[in-house]
Amino acid sequence: MRFMIIIKATNESEAGVMPSQQLLSEMGRFNEELVNAGVMLAGDGLHPSVKGARVRFSGTRRTVIDGPFAETKELIAGFWVWQCRSKEEAIEWVKRCPNPMPGESEVEIRQVFEAEDFGAEFIPELRAQEDRLRARIAENT
């Protein structure tokens, strides 16, 4: 099972406060543990929302909204994608993570959909298309 591990933004991360050298070192060691265990598939930090944009959909209309965005507690400061046997395993890894922000912070764990989760609607043609796209992505990285 794949899980997206979401590091929630804080007022400091939204203000562009960069992590300390100590935190970068601790995270580097933690990321090494994840990679060595075969858990980490991807992961990165995100710039503050002031550098971002949202696109709102309403039927065929698209509206672009430039950052910053007001609700810091709803924003993402970074993420990992992990391969774990269960949600409980992902939780155990998160509990070992250094606190990603000074002070209080929150990390959210969300399971990623797999092809079999979509049932009969994911017909063989769509599955083949998905396989082709994943192969091309792998070539690009």
The per-residue pLDDT for range 21-80, each reduced to its tens digit, is: 999 999 999 999 999 999 999 999 999 999 999 999 999 999 999 999 988 878 999 999
Q: What is the pLDDT of residue 127?
A: 93
Mean pLDDT value across residues 87-103: 96
Q: Torsion-angle region of residue 129: left (phi > 0), alpha (psi -120 to 50) or beta? A: alpha
CA distance 45 to 57: 26
From CA 76, how far away is CA 13, in angstroms rounded? 9
Q: What is the pLDDT of residue 73?
A: 79
Domains of the chain: 2-113 (3.30.70.1060)
Q: What's the rounded Cα separation, in Å, for the pair 19 and 48?
A: 13
For range 89-96, the mean pLDDT: 98
pLDDT at 120: 92
Q: What is the predicted pLDDT for the residue at 56?
A: 97
Report the C-alpha gap between 60 and 79 in whole angstroms: 30
pLDDT tens-digit map of 61-70: 999 999 999 8
Residue 72 identity (one-letter amino acid): T
pLDDT of 34 reads 98
